[in-house]
Structure 1
Amino acid sequence: MGDFVLDSGNTAWIIMASSLVLLMTPGLAFFYGGMVRGKTVLNMMMMSFGAMGVVGIIWVLYGYSGAFGTDVGGIIGNPFDYFGIDSITDAESLMASSGVPALVAIMFQATFAIITVALISGAVADRMKFSAWLVFAGVWATLVYVPMAHMVWGGGLLGGDGITSGLSTPIDFAGGTVVHINAGVAGLVLAILLGKRKGFGKEPMRPHNLPFVMLGAALLWFGWFGFNAGSEFAADGTAGRAWINTTVATCAAMLAWLATEKFRDGKATSLGAASGIVAGLVAITPAAASVDTVGSIVIGAVAGILCALAVGLKYKFGYDDSLDVVGVHLVGGLTGTILIGLFAHVDESVNGTWYADGSLNGLFYGGGINQLLTQIIVAVAAIVFSGVMTLIIGLALKSSMGIRVTEEDEYRGLDLATHGETAYETLGGARVSQEVK
């Protein structure tokens, strides 16, 4: 362990990037809040804010240590290495080589854990108990997110020396497996355990506030620059590559989603634009620093089309993923993760030295099939781990405390039934105020 040398420029950038990523969770609250019906908007937003509260505490107590502590069986880090984070030194920082202090690195990673848990809430809108959600958030972060982060980023089984060591090093720059595949699978499992909303497929369940959805998408896009460019851990050319790839992939995905809507339905919608933005952001996340500009555009366009088509699968297969966590995050995460195997490429003159020797190039750039196989293996492993663990947690909570609200509360709306308030006077806000008094 060498001496730590502070880099004030990199430190300032990571503090800023952490703040940007933290903003994504309130942005998600607006995105999801606008997509539900007016009687559930506050509850939907509270699920995102609740995730911030629960996961934020867990992360500083044992979450970071479990993700990045001493490896235990390739599955998890020792949760007691840095318990409470006060014992960690800057020389032990995840970003020590970039000159970023340990506490800054810890909180950067905390924002990833928070947004991942919050993403799941979109699959269970309108029908999950808020108390059960808070418990689920804490348990899932502990037993699923923390081990997944360790396996991919902390030296575990899904990293460079793990199950694909005979093929190639897996690439997940900012969270295709850890964040999006992980959350997408969890959302699917939890949605199936909860069952369908009353009236699903029979009654219109349209977004009640599309300006909220557009605002949320804008905040997510803005915050995502911290998510992707910040994952370089330094203010350098690779961060710049991640920044531009994040931009153009998202542009391509939005346009592709709108084109798909226009061709299929005859209309290009604002909801489609917002959803396309998120699909592009999701897909480029694992690939942000490992593909060139053309590759990022193609990844974004493919994700826009596939995710636009995938959101309709819930009607075909009969599961109620309320706000399309599966169609956007699972499908988008898989798209980006797997397409790395085709498009991984770095030009040393443009993007530093990340893959300058060509050892991790994708199939289309002369790297052979190894990287593609590696990406597929890691994606499948992430699906299996997240699916099995989420099922165990969900069944345990279902049998112990119950996870679904009553039919009466679902009909009334969870804002009033759970929180005793409503977002709009026309939904009974004045009456509730009088009752409270």
Structure 2
Amino acid sequence: MGLLTKGPRGTQDVLPKESYQWQVVEDAMRRICSAYGFKEIRTPVFEHTELFQRSVGETTDVVQKEMYTFQDKGGRSITLRPEGTAGAVRAMVEHGLYNDALPIKAYYFTSCYRYEKPQAGRLREFHQFGVEVFGAGAPSADAEVICLAKSVFDVLGVKNLSLEINSIGCPKCRAEYHKALKEYFQGYQDQLCETCLGRLNRNPMRILDCKSPVCSKIAEGAPVMLDYLCGECREHFEGVKTCLDTMGIAYTVNPTIVRGLDYYTKTVFEFVSTGIGAQGTVCGGGRYDGLVEEIGGPSMPSLGFGLGLERLMLVLAQPDSALAAVTPPTCDLYVASLGDKAKAQAFRLAELVRTTSLNAECDLVGRSLKAQMKYADKLGAKFSLVLGDSELEEQKAKVKNMATGEQKEISLGESFVDEFTQIYFDAQSSLSL
């Protein structure tokens, strides 16, 4: 009988032999978030569609072309989350977290869903690590969020990465910019794609984010937002740059960055890799000072970023990355057995070792003793112990160091765990000398 079905297009499986790498990356992110005072938030995989229509923006590609939207059995329009920020803001407002001490700092690991052409680093189901800060309006907050992202890349040994920043202003100064953009793009109406023609009157800034080669070429000559910033937005952007300069973080001002979501204001930024092809943006974020109020909360300055884990794993697949030197966890002790009584005792000893958080294995499939030892080798067991009738009778056995061949006698009684852990950690200490 053949395979019933394959995984849906645009999805991927993370197999047991690969998942430890994801765990290493996620553990590093959790440690860094803790150092910065961030706490984890978890939100549903689906939300009411209007949340994303209002927050992400009806003129964005995400809303117009990419969302997985359906009617549930109650006739409600439901959408699988295309990004993490909107759900985090909704949860913050719904539960009144804005009444807590500010700023509120939250991070998350989340799956997201967008219907688009699958390619390297761009899947229909993908995963994000994200952080959100609610209630912080100072330029130093922007710099801290950027610094947190950089800390993740530094700890993981990511190389060939550049930081690009821009300011897209506030609604006040953006109104004047939109007039200038509209006037500019009206001169190219006969060349713009159908989607951008629809954006021309509603949100001409979205044309700058169009992936069409023709529209992208036209956009190269468009007015630049930095020339239209109001005094407050200009001062804020200069403050962000000053903070980054103070921390010694290199960056490039890229006036073409607008991000693909409508909720952004003022600072926007991207970390771009040169080693994974066209889809080089590994992390992107910025301010969204009007989003909390848009969703129904109080006026509250906020900001954050989303980091694509699949794209990050592509970067970390390079042979000189820190992750390349990380090896999967292996078996610390394999307890082999010969006979039914020995098999029961092997299970007991393995359970005792596991209480110390060490990894222990024993036979579960009825292998011969020879086959068990071959299996221990395949597991990469650091130590092995063989139980038979004589070992059970004497309540003693020999623990073998699989790397050196050295054997030490050990009691099978109450002192077993203490004796084994002493042997184990003595051997680990000698390896580190």
Please state which band the TM-score falls in when normalised by the shorter chain: under 0.3
Higher RCO (CA-CA < 8 Å; seq separation 6+): 1
When normalised by structure 1's length, the TM-score is 0.22
Larger Rg: 2
Structure number with higher helix proportion: 1
| TM-score normalized by the length of structure 2 | 0.22
